[in-house]
Amino acid sequence: MDLGLVKQSIGVIVLAGGSSSRMGRPKQLLPFQGKTFIEGVLDKIIATGLSKILVVTGAYNQELTPVIPASVMVVQNRNWRDGMGTSIGKGVRELMAVHPSLEALMIVLSDQPLITTAHYTALIETFIEKEQDAVGTNYRLRIGVPALFVYNTFHLLKELKEDVGAKRLLNTKLKNVTGIGSSVNVLDIDNEMDYKKLLSL
């Protein structure tokens, strides 16, 4: 199997639509290791060889757009207040309109700066090997994102509306799901305490 060709059939949706209400400032633009969160996440995804990438902005569209590489698509979810599910649905529809032949989608958060290129690559390799409906990241009691979804689940992603994102699909709706462990911290950065913890690592 030509891994390069397989990667050309995988799209990526990076969720960056929230208002960071608990942080009080755009967490997507917080500095970490010389880059903003969103820049660091995109650099790692690009390093996997995936190129069909879409960032879904929302509350901070005007602030985020200038730091996103020209090679990456950007779309604003004007319904971002209705939750993460609406950003996923918007992202799937917009990316498929440009790349209708995609066979899989990776859903990524912009506030997990410690996730590595190696972890994204492991998701891709496991997805190819296992031939599951989805491959996600193991948390203590559930499977979450980053996660890869096969084509026949796209209609479910498009229909997401609530604020639970893809978590419900991974843990209750889909039958053939594999979770992989991560050797790095998958800490979500939601508030100043989380950010201080991150900077102390």
Domain positions in the chain: 3-200
- Cβ neighbours around 12 below 10 Å, total: 28
Residue carrying structure tokens 């994204």: 120
Quick one: CATH architecture of 3-200? Alpha-Beta Complex (3.90)
Buried/exposed code over 59-93 (b: 16+ C-beta within 10 A; e: otherwise): bbbeebeeebeeebbbbbbeebeebbbbbbbbbbe
Q: From start to end of 17-84, where are the E strands?
A: 31-32, 35-36, 52-57, 73-76
pLDDT at 161: 77
Determine contact, residues 124/49, Cβ cutoff 8 Å: no
How far is residue 41's CA from residue 23's CA, in Å, rounded to a whole number? 19
How far is residue 147's CA from residue 122's CA, in Å, rounded to a whole number? 11
Q: Which residues pair with 52 in a beta bridge?
A: 11
User: For residue 53, which phi and psi values (nearest 5 degrees)?
Assistant: -120, 135
Coil/strand/helix, residue 7: helix
- DSSP secondary-structure letter at 96? H
- Cβ neighbours around 150 below 10 Å, total: 17
The secondary structure element, H or E, covering residue 155 is: helix 154-158
Structure token digits, residue 77: 């979810």
Structure token digits, residue 97: 């309109």
Alpha-carbon dihedral angle through residues 9, 46, 121, 31, given to the nearest 10 degrees: -140
Residue carrying structure tokens 């969103």: 38
pLDDT at 2: 65
pLDDT in tens, the chain (201 residues): 567 778 899 999 999 999 998 998 999 999 999 999 999 999 999 999 999 999 999 999 999 999 999 999 999 999 999 989 999 999 999 999 999 999 999 999 999 999 999 999 999 999 999 889 999 999 878 899 999 999 999 999 998 877 667 888 999 889 899 999 865 566 788 899 999 999 998
pLDDT at 88: 96
Amino acid identity, position 48: T
- Cβ neighbours around 106 below 10 Å, total: 24
pLDDT at 186: 64
